[in-house]
Chain A
């Protein structure tokens, strides 16, 4: 077994171990209902952190609009699930919801990628930010309903849908989608996380993944080596958007009222995910999953401390930054703990973009 394979299996192992521990805690009644409620969000934030790491760490393009793709996945799948709730049984419906959420996010990832990936660096970041906001705001003005006559769509108001009496408004503008079936659970979240890890880690160790990383490291040399720079950029961006869409499906099937609000899909949310990726290690898939879990759970678990919550959170951010990135601390870690140690197993090998 090669080094990279071993590293991949350690990642799967950590995720599965964490899953088993939490499941046991849940079954033995040691987990508060507050904590139980955080488990699914933890998985979908880990999934989107993997997606963003593909874009930022592997492709090397800074995207701060990834919550937009999550939003698309969430709304398209929730719309489908709500519309077909009475018609299709749960299992195939949820599976189809996943396919739809992923496909819609991937499609928009592709379409948005066409103009965006012509840019580089800061400009690309700004434009992805804009697209993230555009997606959120456009969805906020959607009104879609179903009645005996079929689908109704408007962007004005719920009244303008002109529905029959038996009609059912599915997407109600800024009030979003209410009553999406709660099909997502911790197990499904973990499965989605494992699949996205599997795909991204395999991609990194394949012909296409190497081409993508070559573009990150030096696009001029990549072109001269015969790599189709635009094509591979599109590919990585689309896959990244698709995985973010999968996170969105988990999101929408775990929440009663889905609204395209800034809290979940805005600029701040995208930055938060970028923080997971940067602190977990740019290009380090395993690190970003662990960072997402810790940094998502921490502020939630500190809720009891009220005012000091964000203060502690920011201190933890700084500590993680120092532990993961400061050259002196890395050297100290190596000296003190030697080659194999818990921190290096948890954070994986550094593959920075520096």
Chain B
């Protein structure tokens, strides 16, 4: 059974069919790319998958469960975590606290215990700290645990956003233009990070990206969107050599 199975997903804003009859099947462990020109509906697909928008038609199945009309929060708990095109960190919180927000669903104590710092508070916080630090270590952020997220350099902010998404313990990770605004060195580092996430956590990843070097370098399969419709789907090499894709997106 596929991890993510999307069938006939459509949404209209007024008269505009932003996403039309979108289908995608992602197997567990795959690194899948979603590409297409600006305004093709890529981010809208992400917003549909994460419940920000409710689709007009179609079914989204995660691991066999129908998550189509669930709220963003429920979908996160069901196992989809995401990052954003324009970084959305908790800017005035420290790096470790950003990750601990993501861990909140896994490590629990009551609000009263939290307010009085009694009972399970100390033990659970310690476990949280440990888990958060081991996650930060993977992303090489453990050195800046007490730095405010807003004060991190750009590349590290991107990493932290991925770390926070990973902290929620997802089955599927959605990355929305992770390399946007990065120089070639940072992009290279990001590719290593994504490869690392896959290896360490055995993660299934769907990413939107414009950087073709990154896409052709790490994605195994691609879906090309154009005007809200799927233009082409399949193995990366085949898709990128498809003449339709070349005229619509890549250019001669």
Task: List A residues at the B interface (Cβ < 8 Å).
Answer: 3, 198-199, 202-203, 205-211, 213-214, 216-218, 220-229, 235, 239, 283, 351-354
Contacts and interface: CB of A to CB of B under 8 A. Distances in A.
Contacts of B97: 210, 213
B93 A217 contact: yes
A337 B97 CA distance: 30
A202 B76 contact: no
Interface stretch (B4-12, B29-37, B77-85): B77-85
B102 interface: yes
Interface in B15-63: 50, 52
Contacts of B117: 202, 205-206
B108 interface: yes
B213 interface: no
Interface SS of A by simple majority: helix
Interface residues of B, number: 40
B92 A210 contact: no
Contacts of A235: 111
A208 B111 CA distance: 6
Contacts of B109: 206-207
Given A203-B114, A225-B168, A226-B168, A211 B91 contact: no
A351 B73 contact: no
Interface of B: 50, 52, 72-73, 76-77, 81-82, 84, 88-93, 97-98, 100-102, 104-105, 107-109, 111, 113-117, 121, 124-125, 128, 146, 164-165, 167-168
Given A210-B104, A214-B90, A218-B89, A224 B114 contact: no
B79 to A, nearest CB: 10
A3 B124 CA distance: 19
A226 B77 contact: yes
Contacts of B114: 202-203, 206-209
Contacts of A226: 73, 76-77, 102, 104-105, 168
A221 B105 CA distance: 15
- 10 closest Cβ contacts across the A-B interface? A206-B114, A226-B76, A221-B88, A217-B90, A223-B72, A214-B101, A218-B88, A214-B90, A202-B117, A208-B114
B90 A223 contact: no
A223 B52 CA distance: 9
Contacts, number: 103
B121 A217 contact: no
Nearest to B100: A210
Contacts of A210: 93, 97, 100-101, 104
A353 B100 contact: no
B101 A202 contact: no
B73 A211 contact: no
Contact of A224 (B81, B100, B128): B81
A227 B92 CA distance: 17
Given A202-B116, A203-B114, A206-B115, A225 B108 contact: no
Contact of B90 (A3, A207, A213, A239): A213
B92 A353 contact: yes
Contact of A220 (B88, B108, B167): B88
A221 B93 CA distance: 13
Contacts of A207: 100, 104, 107-109, 114, 124, 128
